[in-house]
A and B are shown apart, each in its own frame.
Chain A
Amino acid sequence: MKFFKSMTLGATMALTVLPLLATQANAETLTITIDSTLETLDPHNSTANAVASISNGVMQRLIGFDKDMKMVPMLAESWTVNDNATVFTFKLRQGVTFHDGTAFDAAAAKVNIDRLADQSNNLKRNSMMRVVAKTEVVDENTFRLTLKEPFGAMLATLAHPSIVMHSPKSLAEDGGDVSKHPVGTGPFVFNEWVPGERYSVVANPNYWEAGLPKVDGVNFLTVKETATSIAMLKADEAQFVFPLPPELFETVEADEQFDILEVPGITVRTASMNMAMKPFQDPRVREAFNLAVDKNAFIQVVFAGHGVVPTSPIAANTAYYSAQEAYPFDLEKAKALMAEAGYADGFSIEAAGRNSSDETRTLQFLQQQLGQINVKVKINPMEAAARSARFFGNDVTGETATFGLALGGWSPSTGDADWHLRPVYSTEGIIPNIYNMAFYSNPKVDAFIASGLNSADDDVRAAAYAGAQKLIWEDRPVIWLAAENKLAGARADLSGVFPMPDGTFAYANAGFE
């Protein structure tokens, strides 16, 4: 009996250890945990950061971003732009082939841009290419793009992580297939996708850039519980964890086997004040709200100190940022302004946001802070579908929106001022259209944004966006809360995988030292 018992025990132990040994032997495979499930593998048809992140090793763009979101050549080696920003000519890299063996050339680029620009395809990223009038194959390696109207942010838009180049063959075979089996030119080839669970890629032996890829493959696991992903990192079941929740920063940092990767983000967290509501039409109330919230304390409480107080509607490392004077925490002045506006006794509002841990904490924080100027805040953390209907449902208008404060966080993945100011602060951006949850409309701001958009001249654009930022800062349609740092945890010997300021991450250069 005892013998039998130990036999069973031994067998069980062997069975438990075997899979572990198998992963150990294959040490050159990298495992990354992500916090969301993937709905599709086609970046053209997704607005999710996770989809853009897992795709950037498989499919590439004409123009890429470096660590600091500065544009760098990728599949296009060089480009020229005419003066009024309507004609863009790209010299493409030669000798690049897709994973299915077909060559990457101007015709392939044309197919992809045409696919995005065609409104009848109903792709989620169609809006970014709607400005395209004509695409031309000049010669095998020269591709030309002509726009309907001048658009100064076109290059940055092409560098957006979602504007990737699919193999034309894979698009032609079956239009829907690239959402399940993408084919690109990157250092990694699609291997397997189990929706809701994992996604994996393997090394591309024919990759065009010398020395890459450095690992045999990459697995992506969806792990929603942050504590679990940290446990996996510590057990070496994962070597890269993104995002790393700020409250667990110290636990990971304390262990020298692991590194923390921290970059300043370009996401600006805001609480939009519903300007369709009477109290928020008074600029003194909006100023009081901005003064009554202690942003330094906010960053401590919600992001464990990993962030900066915004000094403009856009983050400091977004192109054309222009610094404004920060609003100090001044409770006395806030109270005086409220009294002046006739709200000495405050009023009641609802604050709505996601039910994620950071936004739930944000809502409670605002409730505490605004309580100091007698504003009674009822907080409403909503799950994704409810939030989406509440903020972006087709019937949302200023008259029907009942929330007083709406939490938001916008990061311009083009790295350009336009794709932050236009969605969040222009009249065109008012929800449900894009992301202007304050129902803020200032014709002067709209004019500045339009003049920046319609030029490719750096000085003209800088002047236009500086003007827009100044006006928005004075109008205060939102409470600017924080621009949080993007955090990732990694095994110390891992290199080439890093978080990007826009909330995605890059892994094409992954390697173990």
Chain B
Amino acid sequence: MTTLTNDTAQNALVKDTKMRSPLSEFWRRLKARRLALFAGGLLGLLFVFAFAAPIFLPFTPDAFDYANTLKEPSFLHWAGTDEFGRDVLARLMFGAKLSLLIGSSSVTIGAVIGVTFGLFAGYYGGWIDAVTMRIADVLFAFPGILLAIGIIAILGPGILNVIIAVAIFSVPAFARIVRGGTLGLKESTYVEAARAAGAPDRIIMFRHILPGILGAVIVYFTMRVGTSILTAASLSFIGLGVEPSVPEWGAMLSAGREYLMAGKWHLTFFPGFAIFLTVMCFNVFGDGLRDALDPKLDETK
């Protein structure tokens, strides 16, 4: 009996476009943004390739072959070989895993810390707000890469420290976005209602306010992953990131640069193109997400 009513109700919903569930509404709006969808698809493909590479590639990223160094792209080595005769494609794929790992984990750490601080600052206001936002201002005063270099200088090079450095410079941006959203939402009627019903602050913040600003956080998160990959690559490029033997895109670019004048274009082109494509995909996808998640935007046709 109840099942039947639910079914009819659902049928009615499908017919009425104004009453979709938020998720399907979001999907419908995202679908309309072809470029963003394409970028997202490309990222998905990259992800699959990066993890499937060891299965279909005949080379491991560290397998050296001194008889075949600096070979241009061929049928066997699709992206050529580097100065140690290592397969560039295998290294790129391993590097993709590394870049995605560094990008997503650092931004996740930054987001968790930033969101928490932003929520508290926005919700409680007063001195908590003042202190948090002044710290954020100080962090904002440094250009991102400079801040990351400073942090690496203190912690020393290495993958873990790169993740920490990139995480730290992501914190203030998240804190600001969340604080702004919280300030707007904490005066809203449903929050007032929750408070009137006796809900504790913790519940109000995380159950009622946070979901309201999650959209903005997700959008910023996506775009930030792109920036973080770029920053991590930059740090490795200048020798402050990973150990030079690790197939990180920035490190590969830096090593290949020495052979650029010698005509070995593939050593810089492929890692450079990989960085470019990945960062751009994250940005385009992030743009699409923002539009799709923004209820104020009119429907695009």
Task: List chain A positions with a Cβ less than 8 A from chain B.
Answer: 226-227, 230-231, 245, 247-248, 250-251, 294, 297, 300-301, 355, 357, 360-361, 363-365, 367-368, 378-379, 381
Interface pair A226/B261, CB less than 8 Å apart: yes
Among B229-269, those with CB < 8 Å from A are 239, 243-245, 255, 257-263
Q: How far is the CA of A300 from the CA of B261 in the complex (A)?
A: 18
Q: Does B140 contact A (CB under 8 A)?
A: no
Interface pair A226/B258, CB less than 8 Å apart: yes
* Across the A-B interface, the 9 shortest Cβ-Cβ residue pairs: A297-B66, A227-B261, A364-B245, A368-B64, A360-B244, A357-B258, A247-B262, A248-B262, A248-B261
A463 to chain B, nearest CB (A): 40
Q: Which of B69, B255, B261 has the most CB of A within 10 A?
A: B261
With both beta carbons as reference points, the residue of chain B lying nearest to A371 in the complex is identified as: B62
Contact with A along B105-141 (1 / 0, CB 8 A): 0000000000000000000000000000000000000
Given A230-B261, A368-B84, A378-B243, 6 more A-B residue pairs with CB atoms under 8 Å apart are A250-B262, A301-B66, A301-B69, A368-B62, A379-B243, A381-B239
In the complex, which residues of chain A have a beta carbon less than 8 angstroms from the beta carbon of B84? 301, 364-365, 368
In the complex, which residues of chain A have a beta carbon less than 8 angstroms from the beta carbon of B62? 368
- Which secondary structure dominates where chain A touches chain B? helix
In the complex, which residues of chain A have a beta carbon less than 8 angstroms from the beta carbon of B244? 360, 363-364, 379, 381
B247 to chain A, nearest CB (A): 11
Interface pair A251/B258, CB less than 8 Å apart: no
B170 to chain A, nearest CB (A): 27
Q: How far is the CA of A381 from the CA of B158 in the complex (A)?
A: 12
Q: Does B25 contact A (CB under 8 A)?
A: no
Q: Which of the residues A231, A297, A357, A365 comes within 8 Å of B261, measured between beta carbons?
A: A231
In the complex, which residues of chain B have a beta carbon less than 8 angstroms from the beta carbon of A231? 261
Q: How far is the CA of A379 from the CA of B239 in the complex (A)?
A: 13
With both beta carbons as reference points, the residue of chain B lying nearest to A363 in the complex is identified as: B244
Interface pair B69/A300, CB less than 8 Å apart: yes
A408 to chain B, nearest CB (A): 19
With both beta carbons as reference points, the residue of chain A lying nearest to B86 in the complex is identified as: A368
Q: Which of the residues B66, B243, B245, B259 comes within 8 Å of A247, measured between beta carbons?
A: B259
In the complex, which residues of chain B have a beta carbon less than 8 angstroms from the beta carbon of A248? 261-262
Q: How far is the CA of A230 from the CA of B257 in the complex (A)?
A: 14
Interface pair A379/B245, CB less than 8 Å apart: yes
Q: How far is the CA of A301 from the CA of B239 in the complex (A)?
A: 20
Interface pair B83/A251, CB less than 8 Å apart: no
In the complex, which residues of chain B have a beta carbon less than 8 angstroms from the beta carbon of A247? 83, 258-259, 262
Q: Which of the residues A294, A361, A363, A367 comes within 8 Å of B83, measured between beta carbons?
A: A361
In the complex, which residues of chain A have a beta carbon less than 8 angstroms from the beta carbon of B260? 227
Q: How far is the CA of A364 from the CA of B246 in the complex (A)?
A: 10
Q: How far is the CA of A179 from the CA of B289 in the complex (A)?
A: 63
A485 to chain B, nearest CB (A): 17
A484 to chain B, nearest CB (A): 16
Interface pair A251/B262, CB less than 8 Å apart: yes
With both beta carbons as reference points, the residue of chain B lying nearest to A227 in the complex is identified as: B261
Interface pair A300/B66, CB less than 8 Å apart: yes
Q: Which of B62, B64, B257 has the most CB of A within 10 A?
A: B64
In the complex, which residues of chain B have a beta carbon less than 8 angstroms from the beta carbon of A294? 66
In the complex, which residues of chain B have a beta carbon less than 8 angstroms from the beta carbon of A226? 258, 261
In the complex, which residues of chain B have a beta carbon less than 8 angstroms from the beta carbon of A363? 244-245
In the complex, which residues of chain B have a beta carbon less than 8 angstroms from the beta carbon of A230? 261
User: Contacts A367-B245, A381-B239 hold; do A245 and B66 have CB atoms under 8 A apart?
Assistant: no
Q: What are 23 pairs between A and B in contact, CB < 8 Å?
A: A226-B261, A227-B257, A227-B258, A227-B261, A230-B261, A231-B261, A247-B259, A250-B262, A294-B66, A300-B69, A301-B83, A355-B239, A357-B258, A364-B84, A364-B245, A365-B84, A368-B84, A368-B245, A378-B243, A379-B243, A379-B244, A379-B245, A381-B244
In the complex, which residues of chain A have a beta carbon less than 8 angstroms from the beta carbon of B69? 300-301
In the complex, which residues of chain A have a beta carbon less than 8 angstroms from the beta carbon of B262? 247-248, 250-251
Q: How far is the CA of A297 from the CA of B67 in the complex (A)?
A: 8
Q: How far is the CA of A247 from the CA of B257 in the complex (A)?
A: 11
A302 to chain B, nearest CB (A): 9
In the complex, which residues of chain A have a beta carbon less than 8 angstroms from the beta carbon of B83? 247, 301, 361
In the complex, which residues of chain B have a beta carbon less than 8 angstroms from the beta carbon of A381? 239, 244
A247 to chain B, nearest CB (A): 5
Q: How far is the CA of A186 from the CA of B64 in the complex (A)?
A: 51
B153 to chain A, nearest CB (A): 11
Q: Which of the residues A245, A367, A368 comes within 8 Å of B258, measured between beta carbons?
A: A245
